[in-house]
Amino acid sequence: MATDLKNLSVFSTDELPDVSLRRFAILVSEWNTEVTEALFSGAYQTLLQHGAKAENIIRGNVPGSYELSLASQWFAQRNDIDAVIALGCVIQGETKHNDYINHAVAQGLTNVGLKTGKPVIFGVLTPNNQQQALDRAGGKHGNKGDEAAITAIKMLGLQQQVYSKF
Ligand SMILES: Nc1c(NC[C@H](O)[C@H](O)[C@H](O)CO)[nH]c(=O)[nH]c1=O
Ligand SMILES: CC(=O)[C@@H](O)COP(=O)(O)O
């Protein structure tokens, strides 16, 4: 199963960059808060464990995952933010509403990253049911919040490499 092939919740920390001076925004959807709070905790603690400072991490709450794109743009456009981590959980319902949200937020977050040139990390779970969500928010499949934090750190390292002088 694809899930078994790649799980960033297990990762090497050998080559992570120094992020002690980097500033992060973590945006959290208020839908499915049992899941999104677990994602936030994972992302926040992972940032701290890998050198980020608590005073350099700002949290913002959004009504739902669909609002993550605009909120991410607001934060990413700030000069005092280096990376944005967007966390949400969109559980499939009876209609196709989840599909529209998921596609909108995935494209929206991508657009913000491309527009601002800053890492905007897609930390939105798109499960079929609550159990699949819990499994990926600190359960048997790890914590996508941890993975989102590591991804942000890695992207800042790559950005530094790209823009540093040879
Ligand atoms: N059903 C879920 C939603 N729905 C709300 C939307 O995200 C949005 O806030 C609304 O359509 C108004 O613009 N959001 C989630 O994050 N998770 C869901 O399961
Ligand atoms: C995934 C959602 O948007 C949630 O409101 C459930 O949607 P549905 O109306 O398809 O059951």
Query: Would strands 83-89 and 24-29 be described as parallel, antiparallel, or unpaired?
Result: parallel
Kindly list the catalytic residues. Answer: 97
pTM, 2 dp: 0.95
For ligand 2, say whether the CB of 63 is within 6 Å of any of its atoms.
no
Q: Amino acid letter at 21? A: L
- Nearest ligand to residue 86 Cα: 1
What residues does ligand 1 touch, defined as CB less than 6 Å away? Answer: 29, 31-32, 63-67, 88-91, 101
The protein residue with its alpha carbon nearest to ligand 2, atom 10, reads 95
- pLDDT at position 12: 72
The pLDDT tens digits for 2-31 are 555 556 567 677 789 999 999 999 999 999
The pLDDT tens digits for 121-136 are 999 999 999 999 999 9
Place of tokens 């000069």: 79
The protein residue with its alpha carbon nearest to ligand 1, atom 1, reads 90
CATH class of 24-164: alpha beta
Q: Assign residue 125 a region: left if phi > 0, alpha if psi is -120 to 50, beta otherwise?
A: beta
- pLDDT at position 7: 64
Per 3-state DSSP, the chain is made up of helix, strand and coil in percentages (nearest 5) of 50, 20, 35
- Cα–Cα distance for residue pair 22/9, rounded to 1 Å: 22
- Cα–Cα distance for residue pair 151/70, rounded to 1 Å: 21
Calculate how far, in angstroms, residue 144's C-alpha sits from the geometric centre of ligand 2: 22
Calculate how far, in angstroms, residue 66's C-alpha sits from the geometric centre of ligand 1: 6
Tell me the average pLDDT across 141-162.
96
For ligand 2, say whether the CB of 93 is within 6 Å of any of its atoms.
yes
Q: Is 67 annotated as a binding residue?
A: yes
Confidence check on the interface: ipTM exceeds 0.90, yes or no: yes
- pLDDT at position 14: 77
21, 123, 31, 112: CA torsion to nearest 10:
70
The pLDDT tens digits for 62-110 are 999 999 999 999 999 999 999 999 999 999 999 999 999 999 999 999 9
- pLDDT at position 5: 52
Calculate how far, in angstroms, residue 156's C-alpha sits from the geometric centre of ligand 2: 35
For ligand 2, say whether the CB of 98 is within 6 Å of any of its atoms.
yes
DSSP-derived secondary structure for 51-97? T--GGGEEEEEESSGGGHHHHHHHHHTSTT--EEEEEEE----SSTH
- Nearest ligand to residue 35 Cα: 1
